[in-house]
Structure 1
Amino acid sequence: MLDPLRNQSVIFDFIEKEEYFAIHAPRQTGKTTLLHELAHRLNKEGNYISVVFS
């Protein structure tokens, strides 16, 4: 299982530096959940507008 708290801080560092990142992990480990949580957090903080689609 992915550690969502650790990954969020690393991903936010990439976002703040305007760098690309990829999320790669085995199926059913929380990748989509992590992305939805990141989008929610980014929108809540107000510095970014994030949209999730698939």
Structure 2
Amino acid sequence: MDQRFRILPTFWEPRGDERTRTMKLRRKPIAAKYAAEIAALYADATTGGTCARR
């Protein structure tokens, strides 16, 4: 599995757009707010190929 990540220069506060008061992720607002960053992570992903797990 190809895993990609990006460190953002922001802190997600409780009760903010990205987290609830109990620190759970609000996935839909995160996906909407960071759509360009998410698309960029997968833009250069290679398709096809196989991966053998051990």
Q: TM-score range by the shorter chain?
A: under 0.3
The structure with the largest helix share of the pair is 1
Of structures 1 and 2, the one with the larger relative CO (CA 8 A, separation 6+) is: 1
Q: TM-score, normalised by structure 2?
A: 0.25
Q: TM-score, normalised by structure 1?
A: 0.25
